[in-house]
Amino acid sequence: MSGDGFSRRQFVTAGGAALVSGLAGCSGGGDGGDGGAATDTMSSADTVKIGVLEDQSGNFALVGDPKYKASMLAIEEINNDGGIDGKQIEPVARDPQSDNQRYQELTREFISEEEVDVLWAGYSSATREAIRPIINRNEQLYFYTTQYEGGVCDKTTFAVGPTARQQLGSVLPYLVEEFGPKIYTIAADYNFGQLSADWVKVLADENDAEVVGEEFIPLSESSFGSVINNIQDAEPDFVMSMLVGANHTSFYEQKASAGLDVPIGTSTAMAQGYEHRRLDPPAMENIYAGVNYMEEVPTESNTGDGGFVDRYYDMYPDADYVNEEAETNYFSTYMYKEAVEQAGTLEQPEVIEALESGISLGTERAPEAPEGETIELDGATHHVDHHMWVLRADGEHNIEEVTNRKIPEQFLSNTVGCDLTQEDEQTQYTPVDYFEEAE
């Protein structure tokens, strides 16, 4: 059989180009802002304009959509309750389609044309780093709500999700104590995965454990036969998994069908992409998530009658799951409300100052965050001292609580010494610079 009429080289060039353009879509791009006038020309004073950029289509739609929904829930609740300082919130939301270039365009548009008072934006760390230069140039108040690798010390950015040190620090010590000191790390092969793996080494050292093997897996990989063999070869006491994205989800199904039954600790599975609801049991059996929130977190304010979960599904009856980031979007909107009311103005420098004075939720003034009890925003680092849970999936994928405790942000505050109330910074610190084990 011979296909005449077209050269295979043509086919390659054409097909390759289309593949690349289809897959990339996230080139760095410029960070040109439109001048730093945003803080001076505030939007009309009778409403509070909240910008929300969360993915409702594209690769991150599964995890981004609950964030959008939770922001809308918080805004509706606050508006029904009289607004912020008597002003109604006017949400401005657009779908960035999981595309970093679109994020940059929309961020510029939100700052210079919509003149939002505050911005919530982005799922991945790559997105955050794509828009942070624009945020910085315009000194825009910005909430980043995803659990992430940690280390962002930035005057106008509030990274209020839990950091790798908080997440891994909740689950890893428990697994060492329960199963033994030999750890095998599998992580997605990019910034987040690499830094998380460094944190596993640091935490292993602190807990007298040892990383016996480590493998980084490209985001496009969906066949895990060799990874499973490598784990079996190393015979670890448990695995730490920081796999990310739709392709990597296949790992859990494949390890179950291959009969790999070693316990797995994770900061990424279940809480964000609700794999325990989507996969057929027992794929997620014996997986331990170290997280600040999952829909199943058994606090009164969360799963209780009329709690956060009830209110979420009342507003969105067809929603699939309330994920970790949804809770963070939700409570951080209340933190913003507290700060504006404390500052008595929408002027962003004053609101940032109020946020830095230390906002707590779960006190007399502010409602409790669904993750439980009081949680505090640390003014110096712009991070949150979270209530962290270790939750385990059983053979039927029911979620049970293993442990829970309060874990503060530690890397920026104790190790780096970031204090944004004293010094303006726009840096992301990494563990390699501070810990020998991470090298």
> How far is 133 from 145, CA to CA, in rounded Å?
18
| 3-state DSSP assignment of residue 259 | coil
Q: Taking CB under 8 A as the rule, does residue 30 contact other proteins?
A: no
Smallest distance, other proteins to C-beta of residue 398, A: 16
Using the rule CB under 8 A, is 262 a contact of other proteins? Answer: no
Selected binder of other proteins within 57, 357, 363, 398 (CB under 8 A): 57
Residue 52 neighbours by CB under 8 Å, 6+ apart: 68, 71, 72, 91, 92, 93, 119, 120, 121
Q: Kindly report the CA angle at 438 between 436 and 439, in degrees rounded to 5? A: 75
Give yes or no for a contact between 354 and 337, defined as CB atoms under 8 angstroms apart.
no
Which candidate, 296, 295, 249, places its Cα nearest to that of 268?
249
11 binds other proteins (CB under 8 A): yes
User: Is residue 9 near other proteins by the rule CB under 8 A?
Assistant: yes
Name which position in 240, 279, 390, 412 contacts other proteins (CB under 8 A): 279
What one-letter code names the amino acid at 423?
E
287 is a site residue for other proteins (CB under 8 A): no
314 binds other proteins (CB under 8 A): no
Nearer to other proteins, 49 or 201 (CB): 201
In contact, 67 and 142? CB cutoff 8 Å: no
Nearest CA-CA partner of 74 in 328, 345, 300: 328
Q: Which of these ranges, 25-33, 176-184, 232-240, 291-299, lies near other proteins under the rule CB under 8 A?
A: 232-240
CB atoms within 10 A of CB 12: 10
Residue 157 and residue 137: Cα distance in Å, rounded? 12
> The dihedral of CA 229, 230, 235, 239: what is its sign?
negative
- Contact window for other proteins (CB under 8 A) among 151-159, 164-172, 241-249, 366-374: 241-249
- Nearest approach in angstroms of CB 78 to other proteins is 27
Q: Which of the stretches 60-68, 106-114, 294-302, 359-367 binds other proteins when contact is defined by CB under 8 A?
A: 60-68
Which stretch, 108-116, 199-207, 271-279, 426-434, contacts other proteins (CB under 8 A)?
Answer: 271-279
Q: Which is nearer to other proteins, 69 or 165 (CB)?
A: 69
Residues of this chain that bind other proteins (CB under 8 A): 1-6, 8-12, 14-16, 18-19, 22-23, 57, 59, 61-62, 65, 189, 215-218, 220-223, 225-230, 232-233, 235, 246-247, 249-250, 253-254, 256-260, 273, 275, 277-281, 283, 320
